[in-house]
Amino acid sequence: MNCMQIGQHFRDGYLHKDEFKIVYVAPMKALAAEVTSTFSQRLSPLNMSVRELTGDMQLSKNELEETQMIVTTPEKWDVITRKSSDMSLSMLVKLLIIDEVHLLNDDRGPVIEALVARTLRQ
């Protein structure tokens, strides 16, 4: 269903890239780097920008605005969604993908739960 919602941003044969964000939450920085590489290759025909946002990889506000898919860790997305200045970013999220969602039973579970709730509220 959410993938179809992303499809609504294709109009007149043009992808309206400034109208949406896809957020992929990976459990580890190493996996985030791998996912970024994979999705960059797969989405390049659509000229979609895929960027990694982790403790090791920072993005400027301008880079975030120009990126359609953000690959991040639970902790980093938690920090981003807590900032009131980044609310416009959260409001553009149309698809939130959580890899390893079974980690809800792990120590990181409350962080994942909070970021999902915060993202949905936007």
- CATH number of the domain bearing residue 95: 3.40.50.300
pLDDT of residue 71: 97
Strand ranges (DSSP E) for 16-122?
A: 21-25, 50-53, 69-72, 93-98
Written as one string, the DSSP assignment of 76-103 is: HHHHHHH-GGGHHHHHTEEEEEETTGGG
- 8 lies in some domain: no
58 part of a folded domain: yes
Indicate the pTM of the whole model.
0.81
Strands 14-15 and 10-11, bridge-based pairing: antiparallel
Is there a domain that residue 24 lies in?
A: yes
What does the pLDDT read at residue 61? 85
Structural domain count, the chain: 1
Look at residue 116 in the predicted model and tell me its pLDDT. Answer: 82
Tokens of 49: 């920008």
Tell me which residues of the chain have a pLDDT lower than 70. Answer: 1-15, 84-87, 102-105, 122
Does residue 112 belong to any structural domain of this protein? yes
pLDDT at 109: 77
Domain that holds residue 107: 18-121
Q: Does residue 2 belong to any structural domain of this protein? A: no
Let me know if residue 6 belongs to a domain: no
Evaluate whether residue 13 is within a structural domain. no
Instruction: Please check whether residue 10 lies inside any domain of the structure.
Output: no
Q: Is the dihedral of CA 41, 43, 48, 52 positive or negative?
A: negative
